[in-house]
Amino acid sequence: MEVFSITGIELDSVCIAKRLHVVDKGLVRRLTESVKAVIAPAAAFRISYVDERLDDSVVIDGMRFTSRVLYDNLDGVGRVFPFVLTLGKTLEDVIAATRDMLEKYLLDEIGNMVLYEARGRFEQHLRTTFALEKISCMVPGSLENWPIEQQRILFNLLSGVESSIGVSLTESCLMIPRKSISGIYFPSEITFFSCQLCPRERCESRKARFDEAKALEYGIHQRNPLRTTA
Look at 30-34, 102-106, 145-149, 202-206 and tell me which has the smallest mean pLDDT: 202-206
Q: In this predicted structure, what is the pLDDT of residue 207?
A: 52
**199 pLDDT exceeds 90?**
no
Q: What is the mean pLDDT of residues 131-147?
A: 89
Whether residue 198 is contained in a domain is answered as no
Number of domains forming the structure of the chain: 1
Can you tell me the mean pLDDT for 181-196? 74
Q: What is the model's pLDDT at position 225?
A: 44
DSSP 8-state symbol, 50: E
Asked if the structure places residue 117 within a domain, the reply is yes
What rounded mean pLDDT belongs to the chain? 86
Mean pLDDT for 92-98 is 93
Residue 190: band (very low, low, confident or very high) from pLDDT cuts 50, 70, 90: low
Is residue 230 domain-resident? no
| H-only helix segments in the chain | 13-19, 25-38, 68-73, 90-97, 101-129, 151-157, 161-165, 212-218
Neighbours of 43 (CB within 10 A): 27
Is 206 a domain residue? no
Q: What is the CATH number of the domain that holds 23?
A: 3.40.109.40
**Residue at 152 is within a domain:** yes
> Is the residue at 50 inside a domain?
yes
Listed residue (3, 25, 2, 23) closest to 13, CA to CA: 25
In a domain, 203, yes or no: no
| 105, 106, 107, 111 alpha-carbon torsion, rounded to 10° | 100
Residue 70: domain span: 2-192
